Amino acid sequence: MKYLSTFLFLAVVSASLSFAQADSGQAIEDEQGVFEAVQDYLEGVYQAQPERIERSVSKDLVKFGYWRQSADEAYAPSPMNFEQLKQLASSWNANNRMKLNDKTPREIVVLDVLDKTAVAKLTAQWGIDYFQLEKIEGKWMIRHVLWQAHPID
């Protein structure tokens, strides 16, 4: 009986570890998927590649932000839908007007990942974007973006 209980204990621990490892592998895969969706969004705009927007952003996108040219101006609201974002990506940096280089901000932080939803933050040349993502048919897609231009001192 003693050996049977030891065997059962080891079997349960082994099964639990296998499940945890499988779950951990899925968590890593999901975090990578969220990171890649935000990276597609970023590089879609930076590289004028609207196809990257198409593969990473939901057609039901709701994007809203605040922009201002100088510290003397008030922030102006800036709503955007999927088609407007795709158009922006195809034109905003088409002639490399942003002068991208090694110091161009590209900081992506995955803040939280669940099995169907996730949250991430992007620091880019134009400002700070906060993302809500959803997993659709196994693929992470950006659903909501709230952003603002960098604060001007």
Domain range list for the chain: 2-148
- What pLDDT shows up at residue 101? 83
| Chain segment 73-126, per-residue pLDDT in tens | 999 999 999 999 999 999 888 777 778 888 889 999 999 999 999 999 999 999
**Architecture field, domain 2-148:** Roll (3.10)
- What pLDDT shows up at residue 71? 85
- What pLDDT shows up at residue 12? 39
Q: State yes or no: pLDDT of 3 exceeds 80.
A: no
Closest CA to 39 of 126, 114, 131: 131
Q: What is the dihedral of CA 124, 127, 132, 136, to 10 degrees?
A: -40
Beta bridge partner(s), residue 1: none
Burial class of residue 106, CB neighbours in 10 A (0-12, 13-18, 19+):
middle
pTM to 2 decimal places: 0.82
